[in-house]
Amino acid sequence: FKDLNAMLGHVKGDEQLIEVCEISNNELGALDVPCRVGGKWSVLLVGEDLEASKDIADRIIGSFKELKSPGSSITNLSIALSMYHPGEGEKGLIERVDSALLEARRLGPNSCRIV
């Protein structure tokens, strides 16, 4: 949202973030937890089935691409999906997901990466 905030202001950036949250909430189940980590990354914790999570991520990206708000042409979504490995620790999981997010961003706008 950095470019969006710079071009249209923080109010429009906040509105875009709310739209992304609404899209996510429409696709998530009762046990899924959307959350934001830091200023750049959004993290979505979804169940235990990566393929089902990929379907959800694809639907979120598809809905986001259909937005017609001013900010939707400036921003895009990068989603990383992973499972927690027993004994890995929080730091290890966050590092793996962070790397996957960077890879998703390299793949291009509105992409998802599974690690």
The per-residue pLDDT string of the chain (115 residues; one tens digit each, 9 = 90 and over) reads 677 778 888 888 888 888 888 888 888 877 777 777 666 656 666 667 888 888 988 998 888 888 877 666 667 788 888 888 889 888 888 888 888 888 888 888 888 888 7
Structure tokens at 94: 């966050």
Whether 99 and 66 have beta carbons less than 8 Å apart is answered as no
The pLDDT value recorded for residue 41 is 59
pTM of the predicted protein model: 0.78
The residues pairing with 112 across neighbouring beta strands, listed in sequence order, are 79
The residues pairing with 80 across neighbouring beta strands, listed in sequence order, are 113
Give the integer Cα–Cα distance in Å for 58 and 66.
13
The pLDDT value recorded for residue 37 is 66
The pLDDT value recorded for residue 9 is 84
